[in-house]
Structure 1
């Protein structure tokens, strides 16, 4: 690491806090007054509202659902660079595989699907990549089924990423961070009014990141990642009757492939935690673009109509060596290790179009206050791929590695496109009966259509009605007790993978039902939010795609559909201010997850579903300018295979950090240094026995930022 990196590592920054001219706006977007705010040192951990759970901003106490909100200040303090770093702050989320430069997560033990588990400003996005978090102001984890409002989704919940919006005040922040491996990230965040009246506003975020992995390839070369991000939003008031927001962002992300480690029958990493089975010439090259618009129309003081659309273009080239865990062998006489790789060059083209129309407002009828939502949303999906395969090769660790084969996907015809469209209409009414009681009722009618053959004949249709009921009791104005019933569905397509033994089979939808009981209370004048929830979720028509472990065809899989899953558990969390000097974000979850009816895995537990997990992140304010942080992540024992014969041990990891803020004339400098895995614990993170992520040892990160 060069001298600049070393000097920066001595210092640290907490967050990009700018001097701002805060302006209050009326619902029509007109500026009423300007309030000068300067030098606000540290902000709170406890956002008191969330937009995702009810499709509109709603106080958490008035939401009959468990929600976790991770604000930007926590992301800044932890120097997070991926969504996985952010979600460590919620114990109901467990990590899965990180191979192919993407991240997989489980909510309450259920995997969040790439196509239906993630929202960006309330619209579903395709998620076969590492989401850029630099454009986010917070992340909301919506627990339990949410299909009534969003359509197809997993029963464990949804991850809603809320982006930074254009501001009336001036935002100008520059940041740089690094780590002990020489990784670097440069950030810029700029925004504010673009005309004197403030009716036209903009926001731009730019990022350039170069990451060096702590794991090297077998020939000693580095595994690196090169990422660039540009995000732009323009927002304008349309007189007194509306507001228009248009947005565009592009991410280019190229990285070497590290598909993870392999575990033996005792749960130990074969070859140690440093071995990478992939070839140094393997890589993924992603380009993701999002563009769209949102229009808000004010219908008087009580109602508004909001509509929008987003088009996501996701292009990926994957030049893969595809090492096979099932082919690994040790010669009993010589002790020589061998395994096979099956290289290919692959092109993937996803297009993901989303759209919605929401009418929201408040009304009174029959002596009851109604918070109403009527809406329509959907997804139009397109996917096409082609792949040029190479011959299988045998690899002997410690011997010279083969060069990259001569492969080019352009020499292969494109496959038959996979397309579907689904859409739904929904209604929701949160009725306030009196100061103590609220009732939520809602329902959605959803339709799913897909071409199931090349000619387009024989549309695969499914119609679904999903109800939602909630009851909230407020013992006091700062507390609530709730009960919630909700359902979710995940329509399945035909099996499109030609390497699957059930290629062409039409799959039935997966259905889920959930009951949740919970309580919430705000303490210290709203400074601290405490929540607790017990849940019972049942899922039927489970789809499992399994490796056949055929050593001559390592890419071969089989997709099966059978049985019922039942996940029951209890979770609790705390977020906010304990005193003038202490701040805390913490959570814990116990989980009993099982296949209660299944031909293959009766009474077994899904992969990466720990029985107990917990986390905490605390800040202590030594002074107005100096702060210290201490964090903890505990993940219980988990299974690494569906047969439940291979386990990953429980672990507890501690992190620490310090930050200092320094004002120089009209500039504010923020410095931060963090130490992750302070006690250098050896552990295994998410993933199965054939793609497990090895936990990183103790390492240092540092940043400096300037606001002006």
Structure 2
């Protein structure tokens, strides 16, 4: 009896095993990263599972037969895989989940999954999740991976990788295709919403996912914008996969920098996600008396209660303590007559700034094809300033002749606050008519910006009068002034005594000053004048796709209301209207190449602070512009690398420039017309998974074609615009070794260059071109990465921009930064 029982047990076990097969595997993204939360089902069996944090999944207890595996995940294309199972067979699958470029998320709420130099989607070009190659306008971008590899901390170091973007000064101050755009204006974007910054400091980038620029006017979607392009800073958003990293950097100029980035789910079902970026930076810089301390706190929370509703909250708080650096002054026309370290500050100068940006957004999907989006951004900025700076002229002797070695100085004491609110709401609706696929966007924007009453500035300048007080020097009435003797090269000259001590370039007289001894005037200027304006914008956009052809049609109607004389008894509304069309087309020439063309019109009211400033010489007519652009966008190496080419022509009228009048620094002049035409070329991505590459080049002919109403201004015609190089470019490549002996080791090499630039429309001073060489060395072991960045290897003396030879903005000499990071 015992033998039959044993045989029966073995037989039953064999039968059970014969009926039990399994399917196991792992799902990774196209960037070879594990993908979690992919819902997998075996059709017709009722069996389902979800991938783990490592992308793994498993089906067990399966009978032999034919199965259809289906997978879906938020932001990824559907996965379909046929699996044939034999009796007791264990099949192992390695599957790839590809990003869904038709993602229904029409605002960026959950984080970008890609971890390479390449970014596939952009929301800035069409307010829909559109592949960049399908947007009929040039878009440049820099991802956080590029900024990490280059050791970038400030915006100016990030944009050097973009074609057509150049620094005007070393503030938050750029030219794009030759047109100036700075942080003090209100034409830059933050997560696609209107904002501004304090101008004096470049924004940190440690909390950014990427920096992107839509080239040419983006007025049809965002209202008044620069005709050269619009910068959008995109913050890091929460991820569904837990990730944490700590970074510590030290290096040249007594730099100490600590950063942390934490993200992941806050509950088990992963409907509540968080991300927290914090940073501390303390650096003296290469300039005399300069320093910059930054504390950055940037939390982000995403709530996904259902697949149809997503809510996001972002806060960026930045507190900065520093000195305001007004640049280098030189003797006469000799750029090399003073050190690039030369600054005109006093030891007790200070600039304390506080900035916050608070964003809330909601995305709700009513149906498969219809969604609604609403977002609100609040920007706040405060400034507390004491500075010794140049008066933009040299000191003079009793005859009124300039003394090249002495720079006249002035003192500003200023406190000011500014605020901005932007509400943006729009509907997305997708539908088909025959063969045509439609994407319709209809929206409304409300923007208000104001500098409330309560800001103020005191200015000390000029020369001391015998009768008391101070004023500009008049050589015709020397008897009114107090004089002293100044000796230079054995020659003694009698010069009027300044209210604020001159800066002697031969002595480098930086010292502690006593501001209480100066004679001040309370002055009104653009920074402290109470300002208030509103903008209402209605827009409609249609994207139509018919086979290989895509057409984009956009129209926006803006109403701009500026309160002239804000906070006074004479307050009046000045209302302007603008109708802004946009027409574009994209044609898929081959699988890898799209060609496109576009035409847009732009409009930009003159800065409300300038209009309200009684010293500016206004009021001024609004800026008008138009853009014609064509090009091609292509993808190579299995879509790992993009190569884009654009040709453009921009016309702008009524631009304001500083009149460079020493007696009135706020005086502006309006130019009749400017044109910029050029070619841009960008390559971004990975040649191999371990080999990254960025190449950018631009040729930009940006000239004044009409000097304006005054006949004297016609001498400006055909002058290249200030700080707009004709040729500019950059290259950066990083290679990580994969062979066994060098695994974990990597090198990075790069260069960037610009050609000669004009400094001002009203003089002939220029800055020489330059080329910088940079490098990086990387070593990764387990969860640690060691990194050394070497910048300006040849120790080149150069200037990123300037206004004139008394206000030059030099670049940093050779320097290094050493970084260690830990990811867990």
TM-score in terms of structure 1 length: 0.89
Structure 2 equivalent of residue 34 of structure 1: 52
| Preserved CA contact (<8 Å) 1:18 1:173 | no
Does 2:137 align with 1:65?
yes
| Preserved CA contact (<8 Å) 1:429 1:441 | yes
- The alpha-carbon distance between structure 1 residues 149 and 335, as it changes in their structure 2 partners (threshold 3 A), is closer
Structure 1 equivalent of residue 514 of structure 2: 404
Structure 1 equivalent of residue 559 of structure 2: 447
Equivalent of 2:178 in 98, 109, 116: 109
- How does 1:353-392 map onto structure 2 within 5 Å? 353-384=421-452, 385-390=455-460, 392=499
| Preserved CA contact (<8 Å) 1:500 1:556 | no
Equivalent of 1:675 in 785, 790, 793: 790
**Deviation by residue 1:39-93 (Cα, 9 ceiling, x = unmatched):** xxx9432212222111222111211011112111100000101000110101310
Equivalent of 2:152 in 55, 80, 84: 80
- The alpha-carbon distance between structure 1 residues 400 and 140, as it changes in their structure 2 partners (threshold 3 A), is closer
Matched residue SS, 1:686: strand
| Preserved CA contact (<8 Å) 1:565 1:595 | yes
Instruction: Give the whole-Å Cα distance in 1 for the aligned partners of 2:681 and 2:760.
Output: 28
Q: 1:292: Cα distance to partner?
A: 2.9
Instruction: Give the whole-Å Cα distance in 1 for the aligned partners of 2:557 and 2:518.
Output: 45
Does 2:411 align with 1:297?
no
Structure 2 equivalent of residue 314 of structure 1: 381
Matched residue SS, 1:85: helix
Does 2:355 align with 1:285?
no
| Preserved CA contact (<8 Å) 1:18 1:171 | no
- How does 1:83-232 map onto structure 2 within 5 Å? 83-98=155-170, 102-113=171-182, 114-128=184-198, 129-216=201-288, 222-232=289-299
Instruction: Give the whole-Å Cα distance in 1 for the aligned partners of 2:530 and 2:335.
Output: 41
- The alpha-carbon distance between structure 1 residues 528 and 383, as it changes in their structure 2 partners (threshold 3 A), is same
Matched residue SS, 1:84: helix
Structure 2 equivalent of residue 637 of structure 1: 756
Structure 1 equivalent of residue 634 of structure 2: 521
- The alpha-carbon distance between structure 1 residues 492 and 336, as it changes in their structure 2 partners (threshold 3 A), is closer
| Preserved CA contact (<8 Å) 2:460 2:520 | no
Bigger relative CO (Cα 8 Å, ≥ 6 apart) = 1
Does 2:670 align with 1:561?
yes
| Preserved CA contact (<8 Å) 2:356 2:380 | yes
- The alpha-carbon distance between structure 1 residues 560 and 192, as it changes in their structure 2 partners (threshold 3 A), is same
Does 2:505 align with 1:433?
no
- The alpha-carbon distance between structure 1 residues 534 and 393, as it changes in their structure 2 partners (threshold 3 A), is same
| Preserved CA contact (<8 Å) 1:345 1:407 | no
Matched residue SS, 2:145: helix
Structure 1 equivalent of residue 816 of structure 2: 700
Instruction: Give the whole-Å Cα distance in 2 for the aligned partners of 1:121 and 1:58.
Output: 16
Matched residue SS, 1:628: strand
- The alpha-carbon distance between structure 1 residues 265 and 467, as it changes in their structure 2 partners (threshold 3 A), is farther
Unaligned runs of 5+ in 2: 1-30, 41-48, 57-113, 462-498
Does 2:576 align with 1:467?
no
- The alpha-carbon distance between structure 1 residues 199 and 635, as it changes in their structure 2 partners (threshold 3 A), is same
| Preserved CA contact (<8 Å) 2:701 2:726 | yes
Does 2:732 align with 1:617?
yes
- The alpha-carbon distance between structure 1 residues 183 and 311, as it changes in their structure 2 partners (threshold 3 A), is same
- The alpha-carbon distance between structure 1 residues 68 and 478, as it changes in their structure 2 partners (threshold 3 A), is same
Q: 1:124: Cα distance to partner?
A: 1.4
| Preserved CA contact (<8 Å) 1:223 1:255 | yes
Structure 1 equivalent of residue 316 of structure 2: 249
Instruction: Give the whole-Å Cα distance in 2 for the aligned partners of 1:358 and 1:699.
Output: 47
Matched residue SS, 1:610: coil
- The alpha-carbon distance between structure 1 residues 547 and 358, as it changes in their structure 2 partners (threshold 3 A), is same
Number of matched pairs: 668
Instruction: Give the whole-Å Cα distance in 2 for the aligned partners of 1:449 and 1:499.
Output: 17
Instruction: Give the whole-Å Cα distance in 2 for the aligned partners of 1:465 and 1:596.
Output: 25
Structure 1 equivalent of residue 75 of structure 2: none
Structure 2 equivalent of residue 3 of structure 1: none
- The alpha-carbon distance between structure 1 residues 571 and 337, as it changes in their structure 2 partners (threshold 3 A), is same
Matched residue SS, 2:253: coil
Instruction: Give the whole-Å Cα distance in 2 for the aligned partners of 1:327 and 1:338.
Output: 6
Instruction: Give the whole-Å Cα distance in 1 for the aligned partners of 2:152 and 2:385.
Output: 26
**Deviation by residue 1:253-297 (Cα, 9 ceiling, x = unmatched):** 111122112356646144232211222222211101122310111
Instruction: Give the whole-Å Cα distance in 2 for the aligned partners of 1:609 and 1:264.
Output: 24
Instruction: Give the whole-Å Cα distance in 2 for the aligned partners of 1:186 and 1:621.
Output: 25
Does 2:760 align with 1:691?
no
Instruction: Give the whole-Å Cα distance in 2 for the aligned partners of 1:497 and 1:485.
Output: 30
| Preserved CA contact (<8 Å) 1:115 1:124 | no
Q: 1:32: Cα distance to partner?
A: 5.3
Q: 1:125: Cα distance to partner?
A: 1.1
| Preserved CA contact (<8 Å) 1:495 1:506 | no
Does 2:718 align with 1:603?
yes
Equivalent of 1:654 in 773, 798, 816: 773
Structure 2 equivalent of residue 4 of structure 1: none
Instruction: Give the whole-Å Cα distance in 1 for the aligned partners of 2:141 and 2:665.
Output: 40
Structure 2 equivalent of residue 219 of structure 1: none
Instruction: Give the whole-Å Cα distance in 2 for the aligned partners of 1:240 and 1:522.
Output: 32
Matched residue SS, 1:557: coil
Unaligned runs of 5+ in 1: 1-16, 217-221
Equivalent of 1:537 in 650, 662, 671: 650
Q: 1:572: Cα distance to partner?
A: 0.7
Q: 1:494: Cα distance to partner?
A: 5.7
Matched residue SS, 1:308: strand
Q: 1:580: Cα distance to partner?
A: 4.7
